[in-house]
């Protein structure tokens, strides 16, 4: 038989807030990384297009 300690209402709310802000932070971080990858890809595509244009 497991003994479970019941959390008070304030502790549960605090944990939910921590989880909410952690999730929000991770979503913002993923968006920032995605934007960085997109910009890098666009730069590489532009450089490749310029090299192809110079060869022709």
Taking only the tens place, the pLDDT of each residue in 1-56 is: 565 666 666 678 888 899 999 999 999 999 999 999 999 999 999 999 999 999 98
Question: What separation in angstroms does the CA of 22 have from each of 17, 35, 39?
Answer: 8, 20, 26
Residue 15's pLDDT is what?
A: 87
pLDDT of residue 8: 66
Q: Which two tokens stand for residue 28?
A: 């913002």
Range of the domain at 54: 28-56
| Residue 1 DSSP class | -
Specify the number of domains making up the chain: 1
Tokens, residue 31: 């968006």
Whether 54 is in a domain gets the answer yes
Residue 37 domain-assigned (yes or no): yes
Q: Could you tell me the pTM of the whole model?
A: 0.62
Asked if residue 50 is part of any domain, the answer here is: yes
């Amino acid at each position: 038989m497991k003994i479970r300690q019941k959390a008070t209402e304030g502790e549960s709310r605090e944990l939910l807030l921590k989880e909410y802000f952690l999730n929000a932070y991770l979503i913002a971080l993923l968006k920032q990384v995605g934007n960085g990858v997109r910009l890098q890809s666009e730069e590489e595509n532009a450089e490749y297009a310029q090299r192809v244009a110079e060869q022709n």
